[in-house]
Amino acid sequence: MIKISDLNFTYGNNFKLNINNLEINNGENLSIIGPNGSGKSTLIKIFSGIINYYSGKIEIENNDISKISKKKLSRIISTVPQDFTTIYDYNTENIIETSRYPYTSFFNLSENKEDRDIIDYAIKITDLERYRKKYYSELSGGEKQRVMIARAIAQDTEIMLLDEFTSHLDPGHTQNLMKIIQNYCINKNKTVISVFHDINLASLYSKRILVMKDGEIKLDGTPYEIITRKNIEEIYGFDCTVISHPIYKVPQIIFN
Ligand SMILES: Nc1ncnc2c1ncn2[C@@H]1O[C@H](COP(=O)(O)OP(=O)(O)OP(=O)(O)O)[C@@H](O)[C@H]1O
Ligand SMILES: [Mg+2]
């Protein structure tokens, strides 16, 4: 279980993040939505260890993550960051291979069969086979995002943090990867926390949605509880119509 208590953080400007109490069960597939600047990426950065000057506690199975070494934490949490455009200049395969570094030891730095199998699996499901040897700087925005997704999958962690992981993907790759990640996580009991701007995707994808606004969690519930015309108006300030998905019966919004 993940437990966040009394989490407080500020960048030193007007923005304050404050989460008093949040519990996420193992195997849960949870989405976070909320307006621009509400603190979604900040929470993901704190959780993944990129930001480490906060007060309060984040625990995984009762272990405070601030006391876990970076390498060990990389065997527990993988992240697809929101901003990934200029991170590397290696080829696709080499970047995905770096995901296995947390599993190396001083005595064994070389890749084994398990490493190779999961790297090949991640490349296959993200449809990157033909880009294996292509340099990151030569890829399109959506291809780069798929490299980051492949890297997170190959890292094979209990917890995946996905910050708008479909923002650059075309609808075909979006649907395909949503389903693959969902099934992969159900089969392997992984905990997935995904930030979305697309309310309909969040509703289709997860059974629990958190709404962040002004650095706080304002709502926490099922898609039915969260996605109502009144809530959308209050959260985002726009008017919409909410309908039921004809196949999956979950709420979906249409712009008015
Ligand atoms: N490095 C930084 N230094 C100072 N302020 C920052 C920094 N990063 C973000 N902020 C501010 O903190 C607030 C929260 O930012 P955050 O990136 O968490 O928002 P978000 O909910 O992810 O938004 P978006 O939907 O646009 O991605 C914003 O007001 C932003 O301007
Ligand atoms: Mg963000």
Name the residue of 36, 83, 210, 211 whose CB sits within 8 Å of the most ligand 1 atoms, as the mutation to test its pocket: 36
β-pairing verdict for 2-10 and 55-60: antiparallel
Instruction: Indicate the pTM of the whole model.
Output: 0.95
**Contact, 68 vs 77, CB < 8 A?**
no
DSSP letter for 138, please.
G
Q: What is the pLDDT along the chain (256 residues), one digit of tens a residue?
A: 999 999 999 998 889 999 999 999 999 999 999 999 999 999 999 999 999 899 999 999 999 999 999 999 999 999 999 987 766 688 999 999 999 988 887 666 677 888 899 999 999 999 999 999 999 999 999 999 999 999 999 999 999 999 999 999 999 999 999 998 888 888 999 999 999 999 999 999 999 999 999 999 999 999 999 999 999 999 999 999 999 999 999 999 999 9
Q: Which residue ranges make up each domain of the chain? A: 2-76+157-255, 86-156
Ligand 1 binding pocket mutation candidate from 41, 168, 211, 235 (most atoms within 8 A of CB): 41
- 81 and 47 Cβ atoms separated by less than 8 Å: no
Domain spanning 2-76+157-255: CATH 3.30.559.10: no
Which residues are 19's β-sheet partners?
7
Whole-angstrom distance, CA of residue 49 vs CA of residue 70:
8
Closest ligand 1 atom to 82 CA: 27
